[in-house]
Amino acid sequence: MSPDSDVKTLTIDEREVSARAGQTVLDVARENEIPIPTLCHLEGLSDVGACRLCLVEIAGSPKLLPACVTTVQEGMQITTDSERLRKHRRTILEMLFAERNHVCSVCVANNHCELQSMAQSMGLTHIRLPYRNAAYDVDASHIRFTVDHNRCILCQRCIRVCAEIEGAHVWDIMNRGTNCLVITDLKDDWGASTCTSCGKCVEVCPTGALFNKARVGSPHPKKPEFLPYLNLMRNA
């Protein structure tokens, strides 16, 4: 088979798999039921490689590469699980917990949070790094929704769903590093922004950063499963 053929053969964790050209490593792994942990990836949205949890080893590359934004190549040899990867993924999670204030016990998303369940599935029982203890703003100006930046992991799902699915592009991102914030319009109050109040961002937010005020004090499961269906309908 020639290297430019539409079908690529590669190995993931020493298993031979085939893929279509242009597919991501993550796609192919999932098709083959090989688990790779992800936080910013969401079925139905484009990928941005924001969280780095999906890092994999690729033979011949000294760098670890994010599976969600790495396209398959002929003959690639991919490792999705190793001591080194586990160490990096664990550290990434610890940094997320240490950066802002993720106090699960009093969070509106407790028991329905992807960061919380990811920590558990990665075997995280404590955070070795000292917490930063920084205070971030909470914007409750919208009549139905609140953004609590203390809980934001900057996965940018809200930005993508707003731009790609709702077509409103109200959410965006500003600043860098620990000052990084998701913003509505040009950092206007959410309630005074051009938000269409569709609520898609709340449903895709993996943590308690975006929540529906009506759900405070009751379980707040998020339901991002609607995305692939919306995409299907729009392509029909």
Partner 1 sequence: MSKLKLATVWLDGCSGCHMSFLDLDEKILELAALIDLVYSPLVDAREYPDMVDIALVEGAVASEADLEKIRKVRAHTKTLVAMGDCAVTGNVPAMRNPIGVEAIMKRAYIENATTQQQLPTLGLPKLLPIVQPIHQYVKVDVFLPGCPPSAQTFHAALTALIAGTPLDIPALTRFGA
In whole angstroms, give the CA distance from residue 184 to residue 188: 6
The alpha helices in the chain, defined as continuous H runs, are 25-31, 83-99, 114-121, 157-160, 200-204, 226-235
Interacting stretch for ligand SF4, rule CB under 6 A, among 65-73, 75-83, 151-159, 162-170? 151-159
Position 218, amino acid = S
89 counts as binding ligand FES under rule CB under 6 A: no
In whole angstroms, give the CA distance from residue 82 to residue 77: 14
Choice from 56, 64, 113, 158 touching ligand SF4 (CB under 6 A): 158
Choice from 10, 17, 34, 51 touching ligand FES (CB under 6 A): 51
Interacting stretch for partner 1, rule CB under 8 A, among 10-18, 39-47, 81-89, 97-105? 97-105
Residue 156 binding result from ligand FES, ligand SF4, partner 1, none, given CB thresholds of 5 to 8 Å by partner type: ligand SF4
3-state secondary structure of 57: strand
Residue 66 binding result from ligand FES, ligand SF4, partner 1, none, given CB thresholds of 5 to 8 Å by partner type: ligand FES
In whole angstroms, give the CA distance from residue 157 to residue 162: 8
CA distances from 103 to 34, 74, 125, 128, 211 (A): 31, 45, 14, 16, 15
Q: Tell me which residues touch partner 1 (CB under 8 A).
A: 97, 101-107, 110-111, 113, 116-117, 119-128, 130-131, 133-135
Q: Tell me which residues touch ligand FES (CB under 6 A).
A: 38-41, 49-54, 66, 68
